[in-house]
Structure 1
Amino acid sequence: MARRLPSTRILLLLAALFGFGVFMTRDADLEACLREHVELGHLRAHGNLVGKKEEREGGESFEDQLQRVWNRDDLEGNEDHSWRDHNHHTLKALTICIATQTCRPNQDKVLILQDDHYRKALIGVPAGERIFARSLMKAFQQLGYTYLFAKEMGEVSAFYSLFPEQIRATIIHRNEYDKCYDDWERSCLKSKINPRGIPIQDLFTSQFFGRGAASPFAPWALVPEDIRQQNNTYIGYSIEEECVKQPFVPTLSRPRQVWLLGKVSKFFHGPYYPYSRDVWVKASKELNVEFIGAFDYQEGGTYPGVRNLQLPDGPLVGKEEFDMEISRSLAIIGIGDPIISPTPWYGLCYGTPFLNPVKTHLEDDGTTRIARSQHPFAGDIGKPHVYNVGSSDLFKPPQIDPEADDILIESLREAIDVGPRERFIPEAMKQEQMTARVKKWLETDWKAEMRVNLESETKWGSDARWKQLIM
């Protein structure tokens, strides 16, 4: 018996993905393949790929939804097209595998990435947030999941209409995440008044370095460091495959230079800067080293005894130059901010020790505890990889602990003389362990978790609005 031809909707979807000429003369082999294998029944059995009619009534037409997720005409003149190209090729592969029932393991499980850090990570824009995003996408690839980019929340909704059963999670920008909960009348959440919204259990946000989300939605915030007290979902990130590509420079072959960690010059004047203004000149003379860094020019861009590699009107220091300078430096020194930066981990992978500034507090019983640390997770590793450089919290800005400079100089002397002579990557930051955490996250029953969270929180569970949600 002859196979049934695809419906008009399926032809529209395939035409949108492959070009409307695909059913004419442009690709006869592909046309024959699709007409041979694509059956509407296959797609319905796989979760109704094209969305449910009742959820589209009163909204965009199917053709409009296709244009929203596959429209190259709305790109700004200087915008990079890489993420659109990724979507184009990925949607092709996904549609064919579903239609022909040939999906690889997890290929028919879809993740939507709306946070712009993921789009920027795709093209290699440097920043700690993109390191986290890039590492996550690497794990998705290893696990075989399909991921698609969305620039606006409207595109996210369109993807849900097209792939209502395939989507496993959506990661959106924190600003959009807050809007979904704060503005109930225009909320993006799926409910009786918004049947085309995002199921609440699918909605995640990436909380980057040092930030978290409040209960009861804390577990739906993915974080790069294990901040247990915030109850977020620790995903972490891995620099393993990336950093080992940088050639290792033996300590004795390195120039007498030390990298200062702080991408903006205002950190030299901020409340957490622990040293005097003259410490770099003094340390340079005592230890015969040069202090370098890459800072913006918000606060002038210069500081006594520090050479800024960032030119006033020049392009930003690129990742290749940054990695090279870190790998050939004798040490990295924190200046109080930014907190929990990825840079110290790269340094340790290059065999470069990190000097981590900490504020110490003297307890009534005479013991000392760390009251603040620029990088508490790296600080836990200890010598010879990380040196915690203490200054007393008795001195409040703009006061400086008079012993802080001397403690820094002696710590730097020790780090140069005794510091690591080989690469070091913590076990938790290796790609295999990071991918295992991503797998656990994606395989968790988040619908059940959300029910427990809502029912256990009096503040939210008693709110009648939550009863309108559709999970």
Structure 2
Amino acid sequence: MFKLPTTSHLGSRRLVPLIFAIALVTILLNALPRDESSTNWAAWEQAHEHTKAIKEWGGNLAPQWLRPGPNRKVEARRILDLKYMLEETYPPNPWADARPLNWEALEELAECIATNSCRSGQERVVLLASSHFGQGLKGWTAGEDIWAASTIEAFTSLNATLLYTYGAMDTLLIYQAIPDLVKLVIWEGSLYGRCYNRNDENHLEEGSDGDWQTGKKGCIKRTGFEDGIPVWKSFMFHFWGNAVSHLGHNWTLAPENYARGGIGNYYLGYSIETYCTKMKYYPADQREHRGLAYGKQRFYFDPSNGEYKWAGVLGPAIVAQAPGIDPKNGRSVAFEVIATVDAPGDDLFEQNLTNLGVMYRDPWTENLAKSKFMLGVGKPKISPSPYDALCLGVPFINPYVNILNFFSGGVKALDVDTSSLTNYNPDNVTDRSAWWDSQHDGFLDIPEPYVYHVPPRDQARLTEVMAKAIENPIERYIPEDRTKEAVQARHAFLLDNDWLAAAEIAIVEKYQGAEVDFLL
């Protein structure tokens, strides 16, 4: 017969607590991963549900338990804790709807680290701190959005882990949780400025609850805030040619090769190859007998604004073109130039333009592909759309100003806006990039029959090149530096270069021994 133990049997008063302790340990052990190669993520998520309630990372510092550790399994669990904290503290909203992608990326990163199965490059994290990246994912078509979409494509092809942020606070939280994994922070200029200037008085951000924040506020690494984001890891996502980083041009990313004529921003560039090559190419005999005038807004066509390049000359140039064949019925038709601005039929100041109205990207691209050339009208500057044209086999007519002639008085009567002109260099007159200013300076080195360069209001030259573009159709053309492979290579260099060493040199050259308000 089984008997309950008495005081004479092995110290019964100690045995019962021991049994409970053993049972508790058994339960906890069963909830954890059993070995290094098999990770029980469901059990781990249940065991770490408490992290969703933690809101005391201080507004400036991630909790100490969320900081890097030497063990791979610990590292993986810490990354999952970061995921839970982001889910709770920074949920998606209409202006930050890419945030769920962060949770997926962090879970994949945690799992591959825990199981030693990361793809080459996956442990390199890039923080994308600009709304243009989320907009690029949604297919928006502003120049910055198309550039951002290409950057996402390039980094993805390199297996980098991409995390999307929308303010200084969420960017800082992620960085402080995984600083050794973060290789780059690509900033919208305004967000970088907010991060750089963040302090105890201005730390709150719209849409964020700051009541739970404690401790000293900051964002950039500097004396007194050594856990901030280093300037040397911070790169500006900037569409224009001026440097907007505290470290100068090499930390200011550019969509165009502004440095071709000398010192300039880091040429990251973009490729429209993936999108464009999905669109149909039309042989010459299947194209409408027309050109397409490229301008996004009605006022781009207004002769009184000084930016429109063809006042008084486009109409006669259109009329001067020979009739062609309508591919739909084989009949002779007059040449026309279409535009895609505002509502269909809206007046665009030029009587000879046919306005089809604004379109979504796919139908607009289809109409471009069926045209025989794209005509720049002065603005928008350095837009991606002329690259679409070349990729579809459509030549681009690029209006330009010859600065040599401008300063010699040759075009003063044209009322050219000189504020946008590139620097005049009389010792480099054979280099177009040094003495021409055009609607798309990225095309200055591309020759005919792909790109035709025409001075503003030059009716004879415009008439001539329109005819040449019609008579000399081209195949698809992607400039060598705009292929996916070339763009990927520049992104790979951005990931692989020793930017800390470069920053040490840049500070010496830029500041000449003067004090700087940040730490490397």
**Residue identity in the other structure for 2:255:** P
Aligned to 2:308: 273
* Local SS of the residue matching 2:455: strand
Q: 1:222-261 alignment to 2 at 5 Å? A: 222-228=253-259, 229-261=262-294
1:290 aligns with 2:316: no
What amino acid sits opposite 1:382 in the alignment? P
Q: 2:478 aligns with which of 421, 425, 447?
A: 425
| AA aligned opposite 1:307 | T
Letter paired with 1:462: A
Q: Assess, with a 3 A threshold, how the Cα gap between structure 1 residues 230 and 119 changes in structure 2: closer, same or farther.
A: farther
Mapped to 2, the partners of 1:452 and 1:326 lie a distance apart of: 47
Q: Do the aligned partners of 1:190 and 1:196 also contact (CA within 8 Å) in 2?
A: yes
Q: 2:149 aligns with which of 116, 124, 134?
A: 134
Taking a change above 3 Å as real, the CA distance of residues 211 and 144 of structure 1, as seen in their structure-2 partners, is: same
Q: How does 1:165-204 map to 2 (within 5 A)?
A: 165-181=180-196, 188-204=219-235
Task: Give the superposed CA RMSD.
Answer: 3.6
**Which letter does structure 1 place at the counterpart of 2:438?**
S
Range that drifts further, 283-292 or 407-416: 283-292
- Identify which of 443, 462, 465 aligns with 1:411: 465
TM-score (norm 2): 0.71
Label 1:246 to 1:67 Cα distance change in 2 as closer, same or farther (>3 A): same
For residues 223 and 244 of structure 2, the distance between their equivalents in structure 1, rounded to whole angstroms, comes to 26
Q: Structure 2 CA distance, aligned partners of 1:321 and 1:120? A: 20
Tell me how far apart the structure 2 counterparts of residues 104 and 454 of structure 1 sit (CA, whole Å).
Answer: 35
Deviation at 1:281, TM superposition (A): 3.4
Question: SS at the partner of 1:333?
Answer: strand
Q: For residues 345 and 464 of structure 1, do their structure 2 counterparts lie closer, same or farther at Cα, with a shift above 3 Å needed?
A: closer
**Stretch deviating more after TM superposition (369-378 or 160-169):** 369-378
Larger Rg: 2
Aligned amino acid, residue 325 of structure 1: N
Equivalent position SS for 2:401: strand
Please tell me whether the aligned partners of residues 287 and 370 of structure 2 are also in contact (alpha carbons under 8 angstroms): yes
Query: Could you tell me which residue of structure 2 aligns to residue 44 of structure 1?
Result: 70
Letter in 2 for 1:320: D
Give 2:437's aligned residue: 372
Does the 8 Å CA contact 1:238/1:430 hold for their aligned counterparts?
A: yes
CA distance in 2, matches of 1:243, 1:447: 37
CA shift for structure 1 position 47? 11
In structure 1, the residue corresponding to 2:70 is in which secondary structure?
Answer: helix
Q: Judge which range, 210-219 or 410-419, deviates more.
A: 210-219
Unaligned runs of 5+ in 1: 11-17, 27-39, 53-61, 311-315, 392-400
What's the secondary structure of 1:372's corresponding residue?
A: strand
Q: Is the 8 A contact 2:245 2:252 kept in 1?
A: no
Residue matched to 1:397: none
- Cα distance in structure 2, aligned partners of 1:218 and 1:152: 23
Alpha-carbon offset, residue 210 of structure 1 = 4.9
Partner residue of 2:502 out of 435, 449, 452: 449
CA distance in 1, matches of 2:388, 2:365: 8
Preserved CA contact (<8 Å) 1:267 1:273:
yes
Residues 301, 107 of structure 1: CA spacing in aligned structure 2 closer, same or farther, 3 A cutoff?
A: farther
**How far apart are the structure 1 equivalents of 2:409 and 2:161?**
56
Where does the alignment leave 5 or more consecutive residues of structure 2 unmatched? 1-24, 34-40, 50-65, 203-217, 322-333, 411-428
Give, in whole Å, the separation in 2 of the partners of 1:259 and 1:211: 31
8 Å CA contact retained: 2:284, 2:473? no
CA distance in 1, matches of 2:465, 2:172: 54
Separation of aligned partners in 2, 1:152 and 1:428: 32
1:20 & 1:122 partners in 2: Cα distance? 33
- Deviations 1:279-316, CA, capped at 9 Å, x for gaps: 4433332223222222248xx76332323333xxxxx6
Counterpart among 309, 312, 321 of residue 356 in structure 2: 309
Partner of residue 13, structure 1: none
Size of the aligned set, in residue pairs, is 412
Identity %: 28
CA distance in 1, matches of 2:183, 2:110: 17
Distance change >3 Å, CA 384–CA 254, structure 1 → 2: same
Deviations 1:165-212 (A, max 9, x none): 110001111112234456788663112322342111111111115554
Task: Tell me if structure 2 keeps the 8 A contact 1:260–1:292.
Answer: yes
SS at match of 1:345: helix
2:251 corresponds in structure 1 to 220
2:363 is matched with 321
Q: Secondary structure at the match of 1:225?
A: coil
Deviations 1:428-447 (A, max 9, x none): 11111111111111111111
Output the CA distance in 2 between the equivalents of 1:200 and 1:5: 43
Match of 2:451 among 386, 399, 408: 386
Q: Specify whether residues 44 and 4 from structure 1 end up closer, same or farther in structure 2 by C-alpha distance, changes over 3 A only.
A: farther
Equivalent residue number for residue 115 of structure 1: 130
Instruction: Confirm whether residue 144 of structure 1 aligns to residue 152 of structure 2.
Output: no
1:89 equivalent to 2:104? Answer yes
Query: How many angstroms does 1:231 deviate by?
Result: 2.8
TM-score, with length taken from structure 1: 0.77
Equivalent residues of 2:300, 2:378 under 8 A apart: yes
Q: Distance in 2 between matches of 1:301 and 1:210?
A: 34
> Quick check: 1:210–1:340 contact (8 Å CA) kept in 2?
no
Residues 187-240 of structure 1 show CA distances to partners (whole Å, capped at 9, x for unaligned) of: 631123223421111111111155543674221111111111443111111122
